[in-house]
């Protein structure tokens, strides 16, 4: 994030300072927050505050520990906060570093708005407003069109452990004090909540939108270098244990190894998952056990957490139906031995027009089934979903219609789109509900080895709800499991072609997933019955069209 002033251009830095000042210098809010702070600090126990400051706990962590949540705690600099709390303005202006720790032992610099950024440089911000400016600049740099945002924070488990230890330390040392009996340390806010509380208002002002449930997310991920190293070491140990060869003579070693692995895995989990709140301190003392020394439980910290700031939008979905008029267009991009199959793909034609309009990072294509490259998709079309990852712009209904018109006016006329619209995640539900029960209608150009006879029409049309058994076709056996599938042929009828006795059009409706080509020629007996076996002759399929996919989704605009 561009708040490292030594690398930032002069004009950007000046803009940042101006923006931060705009957030901080609202006279009405400033007076209100000043009063709130003055009222709040009157109830702070000065001796406890000085004690915690001397133990290298930052002032915002102290405020958090004593349940103070006033916006000014976030917007004012540390110098101003200390002056309000301890009333030693003359000395603090000259010697503030001796009072406020460089890196807080409890929050590891998070509530000091200090972190390791790119190239492991330590970035320091005076207040939450300065930090919010850096975040807002990243959002604006990414060019997202937003009407709200969701703020997400992820912290290492050490933070929660530190919070518990710090609360227990204060509880043990000061529980006999009168002020302690009047307040509940257990009700203090967490570091995560305090950070979100500090950043929300400045970000709302800078971005001019509200924070809440949103498809646009700002995610702050803090991590510790030491934790990453420990996890890597644990993973290496686990992999080493798994690679060991164990035979019958070493069954005892096997048991020991399993125990060791379990311990290692638990250790990994403890560094990556949330640690439950426990009333035990690090030395194992219960809360009600005496402790004479009141030893401070938190270790000195030499460097702050790493911070990764991401801003992204959850996927947006376009639903519709596509028609394919070419017998040389695949559904998705098809490459074999670095050679492209077909002249284009449905995925690329549609996605290549939608993605630029949304300014997204990438797309994923999902369809309700698929047809072979040499099969046309006609009729009402095949339902599909396009998933756009991290779209910077959500198109309006008018723009969506422009995208549809652009696709349909392409010169090659390979593909056409119908009923294109933006749908929510419920589009998945519509697709899933229809896939299991959907039926498909086909028109196949068939050749048989003898002339077509009048009784053949009746034979074919009389077959209703015919059950067939299909083994995995030979043509796809190299990439599909060898299974037997029961499928239903709902109905069939023959359409005679004028001037031809051995060619005809076969119209049929079948259960989804039926291999139509194999149903016609029999696939060397692997599909039974087939058109060839029903008519008692050799049958071959020359062309195939899908004429309808019977699903209720995306049928209308």
Residues marked as catalytic:
372
Which parts of 359-425 fold into alpha helices (H)? 397-408
Structure tokens at 257: 């190894």
CA distance 196 to 215: 18
CA distance 229 to 232: 5
Where does residue 109 fall: left (phi above 0), alpha (psi -120 to 50 degrees), or beta otherwise?
left
CA distance 52 to 171: 13
Q: What is the DSSP letter of 384?
A: E
Asked whether the bond before 54 is cis by omega within 30 degrees of 0, the reply is no
Structure tokens at 139: 């959002």
Phi/psi at 313 (nearest 5 deg)?
Answer: -110, 140
Q: In 3D, which of 510, 470, 513, 467 has the Cα closest to residue 491?
A: 510
The answer to whether 309 touches 220, Cβ cutoff 8 Å, is yes
Q: At what angle do helices 191-207 and 10-24 cross, to 10 degrees?
A: 110
Q: At what angle do helices 157-174 and 46-54 cross, to 10 degrees?
A: 130
The answer to whether 473 touches 526, Cβ cutoff 8 Å, is yes
Q: Point out which residues pair with 153 in neighbouring strands.
A: 220
């Amino acid at each position: 994030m561009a708040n490292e002033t030594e690398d930032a251009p002069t004009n950007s830095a000046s803009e940042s300072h101006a923006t931060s000042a705009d957030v901080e210098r609202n006279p009405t809010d400033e007076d209100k927050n000043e009063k709130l702070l003055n009222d709040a600090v009157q109830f702070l126990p000065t001796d406890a505050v000085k004690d915690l400051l001397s133990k290298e706990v930052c002032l915002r962590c102290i405020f958090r520990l004593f349940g103070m949540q006033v916006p000014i705690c976030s917007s004012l600099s540390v110098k101003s906060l200390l002056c309000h709390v301890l009333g030693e303005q003359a000395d603090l202006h000259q010697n503030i570093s001796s009072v406020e720790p460089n890196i807080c032992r409890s929050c590891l610099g998070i509530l000091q708005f200090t972190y390791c950024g790119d190239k492991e440089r330590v970035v320091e911000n005076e207040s939450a407003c300065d930090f919010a400016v850096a975040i807002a600049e990243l959002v604006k740099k990414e060019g997202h069109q937003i009407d709200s945002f969701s703020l997400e924070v992820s912290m290492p488990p050490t933070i929660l452990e530190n919070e518990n230890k710090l609360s227990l330390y204060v509880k043990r040392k000061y529980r006999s004090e009168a002020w302690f009996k009047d307040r509940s340390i257990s009700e203090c806010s967490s570091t995560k909540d305090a950070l979100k509380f500090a950043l929300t208002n400045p970000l709302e002002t800078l971005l001019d939108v509200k924070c809440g449930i949103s498809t646009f997310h700002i995610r702050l991920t803090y991590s510790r270098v030491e934790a990453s190293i420990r996890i890597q070491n644990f993973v290496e140990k686990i992999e080493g244990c798994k690679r060991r060869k164990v035979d019958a003579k070493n069954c005892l070693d096997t048991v020991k190894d399993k125990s060791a692995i379990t311990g290692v895995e638990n250790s990994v989990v403890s560094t990556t998952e949330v640690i439950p709140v426990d009333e035990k301190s690090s030395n194992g003392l219960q809360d009600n056990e005496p402790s004479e020394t009141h030893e401070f439980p938190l270790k000195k910290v030499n460097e702050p957490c790493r911070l990764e700031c991401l801003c992204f939008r959850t996927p947006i979905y376009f639903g519709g139906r596509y028609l394919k008029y070419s017998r040389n267009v695949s559904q998705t991009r098809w490459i074999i031995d670095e050679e492209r199959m077909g002249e284009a793909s449905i995925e690329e034609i549609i996605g290549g027009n939608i993605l630029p309009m949304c300014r997204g990072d990438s797309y994923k294509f999902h369809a309700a089934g698929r047809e072979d490259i040499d099969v046309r998709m006609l009729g009402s079309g095949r339902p599909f979903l396009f998933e756009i990852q991290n779209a910077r712009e959500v198109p309006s209904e008018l723009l969506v219609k422009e995208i549809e018109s652009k696709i349909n006016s392409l010169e090659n006329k390979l593909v056409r789109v119908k009923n294109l619209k933006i749908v929510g995640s419920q589009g998945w539900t519509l697709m899933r509900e229809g896939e299991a029960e959907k039926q498909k209608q086909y028109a196949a150009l068939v050749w048989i080895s003898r002339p077509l006879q009048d009784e053949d029409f009746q034979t074919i049309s009389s077959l209703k709800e015919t059950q067939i058994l299909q083994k995995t076709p030979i043509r796809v056996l190299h990439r599909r499991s060898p299974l037997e599938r029961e499928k239903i042929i709902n109905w069939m009828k023959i359409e005679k072609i004028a001037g031809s006795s051995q060619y005809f059009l076969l119209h049929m409706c079948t259960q989804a997933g039926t291999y139509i080509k194999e149903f016609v020629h029999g696939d060397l007996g692997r599909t039974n019955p087939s058109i060839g076996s029903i008519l008692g002759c050799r049958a071959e399929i020359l062309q195939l069209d899908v004429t309808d996919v019977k699903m209720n989704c995306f049928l209308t605009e």
